[in-house]
Structure formats: structure tokens, C-alpha cells
Structure 1
């Protein structure tokens, strides 16, 4: 199982130099990917712009949106941005894509919230066409640049409902889950994703990715809890408290969490920090460096 780390872009005091340094440290460490989440109505950086900046600071580590809320974006522009980032990073981009669940982000765009699933399907179809080098239509022609990865960046579908998960088989290279609860819950989602993959007649198996939270060091438990309650407060206090209870805040708890995800066939675990301190990269690297995992070849 590969283990990646998320960028701390959701923290108000995370400056651009700090994020670039975080990326350099991660690239020098044992991590497989640098992840980033997407919010609009929030004081965070734009994910694709930050990944473009980090791409110039790194050499080997993959760059992953986990996830990008696609229906907030124009499909043609998003396809061009993703192809440009894939070319800029020499084929290191993985696009985790989903429909999003925060209506406030859609009001801020503005973009329609109620039909976001249908529009997401249309976006996937158009972007796949653009990345494969086909003209949009007889009049518009091609949209470039050509991605380094044949057929475009790796696409990981983020979804919860069965109807949404079916997109894994139709459009994705894999599935990305939010590991906000027990690993058994993620296991069920993984098996569903594999079912839809097989039903679509796809060969092999989908790549299975999950994101989870961590915080390491003295006195981090309360800071982690406060961060999670603020981030997921829109789900209600009970749900936010439950998510906070699954944040690993000791090396032992994190090692257990890593093993649980490895046991259900996870290909890559993306760990997100709950506080923006560079020591979180170092502390996680010590654990990941000692973990039993083999770096995947892409």
C-alpha cells in the first residue's frame, strides 16, 4: 500500500512559501502523493493553482486532488487546466473528482446544485474526449495541450451513493473514498466500486484510494478535534464528533489505522494533517518510512 500526504491548504495561516516547503519535504520523503481538497466558500487556496506551484518544487511525488468538485468548474476549462498540469508535472497528476455536497460552494460559484450529478456525467464525457485528442466538434476542433499520460490524467471517482459509484466503471481509473469512519465502511465501498467496474466490462481492477486524518505530537488531540468539528460542522455536531473520534493522534493509533486500510486492499492511503506544522511531515515520514509498503510504479 502506498501512503501519501495532503497539503495543509485549508488552514488560514498556511502561506504559499510554507506550502511549497511542505511539498519539498514530502517529495524528499517516503510519500507516494501530495493531495489537496477543493472548497470554494472557504479561506483556502485553489487546488489546481497550488498543485501547479508545487509541481515546480517537486520531481517524483504524484499530485492528487482528493477531491476536486467538478460541477463547480467549466468542463472545457477544467480539461485544459488538468492537461496543462499533467504536462507541467511530467505526467504526475491524479484527478480525484466528485459532485460535492456543500450547497454553499455552489451558491458562491455560482453553479446549479440540484443537477450537479447530470452535469458531472457530461463533464466526464467531454473531458475524456478532449484528453484523448479528439475535436470537441466539427467547428471547435482540438483543445490542448496533450497530456503526458495517454488519454489524460488518472481519474479517481469520489462517490457515496450506488448511482454515483457506477461512474467508476464508466469513466474512472479508480475510486477514492473518504475514510471518515471505520475501515469496514470503506471496505464496503471498495467492494461496490469493484462490482461496478466489473459490470462495465473493465479489465483488471480499479485503483482504490482512501483519505484519512492524522495529528502527531504532544497535545495534538484537542487541536485535531477542534479542526474536524469546524471542518465538518455542516454535517451536524453528532456526525462531526464521530468523524473526530477516528482521527489518529498517536503513532500506535496511526499504525493500526494504516494496517486496517492495508487489510481491505487499499492501493493508496492519503493522510491529511489536522494542524499546519512542518513537524507533521517529519513525524508522519518516520512512521511511513518504517511501514511495510512498496512504492507503486505508474
Structure 2
């Protein structure tokens, strides 16, 4: 089981230097990956910019968008250049996680029809592949350093088909271990149906908050971040706020077939990172 950690880039008010410090310390602790969330109409850093800052101060740890909402970025050649540039800057450490998204306001301010997000993502996946394979005059360079690992998010049939057609793996946004296993079964069924060899790399995101104010920090952040969803209170109850619960989650998700967990912080304090490392590494 690989254990990654999210950058606190989506925690409102997180200082830019905190992201760099967090990235350095995450690499020193031995986490597998630095993940980053994506929102547009919110007080967060752009995920590609945040990961570029992390790339500049690290050398080994993986970098991942977990996940990037691609359809509101409705200029595929520009996105292709940004992603490939980040991959090159990092020395080929990027895993590109993409999903259709579920925040209508992000699409509205971008001039993209929210109802068309799935079709737009399908088109962008084809276009990204073509752009990165193109050579000669008119090509949009650079290309990624190697074959860029792609993971897809979402729990719809379309999301599972995208994983099987384009991806190296699938990432869940958080669920119970049993719910995770049920969706992983659907991913693997789609994988086999499309004639893919081997098995997909299975990932999940889990929120955590530790220390004397753990529950308060989780509630403050998640109630705000998920205010749009109507599910914020239930999401708060899923946050892992005790070391024992974190360790139990690692075991449960490993038993459910998960290959990598990215623990997402509810606060930007570096004590959270250190407490997480003590609990699960």
C-alpha cells in the first residue's frame, strides 16, 4: 500500500511558503505522492501552479492532480502545454488525475455548459493524446517526459469506461471501504471488457485532521468546502481524526484492493503532516 498526502493548497488562507515547506517535509517523511484538489470558484491555489511549486523544492516524491476538473479548462492545447511543462519541470514525476467535476459555478464562470461536461471531457482526452503524439510544424510542445500516467475519477458508468479506455488507474473521492470495493469491481469489469492487460492502479482520497482540535478543524474546513453539495455534514463524519482510525482505514482499504491512499489535510499546519507520518508511515 502506497501512502500519499495532499498539499494544503485548497485550505483557504494557506501561505505560499507553507506549500513549499509541506512538500519538502512530505518528501523527507517518505510519502509516495503529493496530491492536490481542484476548484475554481473558491479560495484555493490553482493545482498545476501548486504542484509546480512543489516540484521546484523536491526531487523524488510523486506529484498528482487528485483530481483536475478538465472540462472547464476549455482550451485543450493550453492545458496540454501546462501539464507537459509541469511533468518536464518535475523530471517526469506527474500523475494526471482528471474528472468531469460537479461544481456548476466553476463551469458557469468559464463559459462551459455544465450539462456537457462528460462529452467535453471525452473530447479532451482524445485531443490530449493527439497533441502529445504530434510532431513537426504546428505541434504544441513540449510533450510529457514519458508516458504520462493518467487516472480518472468518478463513479458513473462513463467514468469507468474512461478509465478502461484512457487510464492507468482510477481514483475515488472518498467512501466506505465496502462502497470502494463495489466501485473498484466495476472499474475492473470495464478494464477487462476493453481488453486491457494487467490491472488498474486503484487510488482513493481520505480527509484527515489530527491533534487536540482535530474535529473542529475538520468541521470548519469541510463544512465550508462542501457547502454547495448538501452533504457537508455527512462528509465531516467521514474525516479521520484519530491515529487509530487512520491506521484502520489503511488496513480496510488495502483489504478492499486499494493500491494508494492520498490523505487530504483539513488544515495547513505542518504539525498535521508530522502527525500523519507518525500514524501511518
1:1-298 equivalence runs, <5 A: 1-73=1-73, 74-133=75-134, 141-150=138-147, 153-179=148-174, 181-236=175-230, 239-289=231-281
CA contact (8 A) 2:100 2:121 kept: yes
Shift of 1:43: 1.0
Maintained 8 Å contact 1:40/1:109: no
| Residue ranges of structure 2 left out of the alignment (5+ in a row) | none
Q: Structure 1 length normalisation: TM-score? A: 0.91
State the aligned residue count.
280
Query: What do residues 268-292 of structure 1 show as CA deviations (whole Å, max 9, x unaligned)?
Result: 1000011111001111111222xxx
Moved runs in structure 1, 4+ residues, more than 4 A? none
Task: Measure how far apart 1:134 and its partner are.
Answer: 5.1
Residues 168-194 of structure 1, C-alpha deviations (whole Å, 9 max, x = no match):
111111101111x31111111111111
Distance 1:277 1:197 in 2: 40
TM-score (normalizing by structure 2):
0.96
Q: 2:246·2:280 contact (CA, 8 Å) conserved in 1?
A: no
Checking the alignment, whether the CA contact within 8 Å between 1:228 and 1:243 is kept in structure 2 is yes
1:77 Cα shift? 0.8
Task: State the SS of the aligned residue for 1:41.
Answer: coil
Unaligned runs of 5+ in 1: 290-298
Structure 1 vs Structure 2 CA RMSD: 1.3
Paired residues of 2:171 and 2:203 also in contact (CA < 8 A): yes
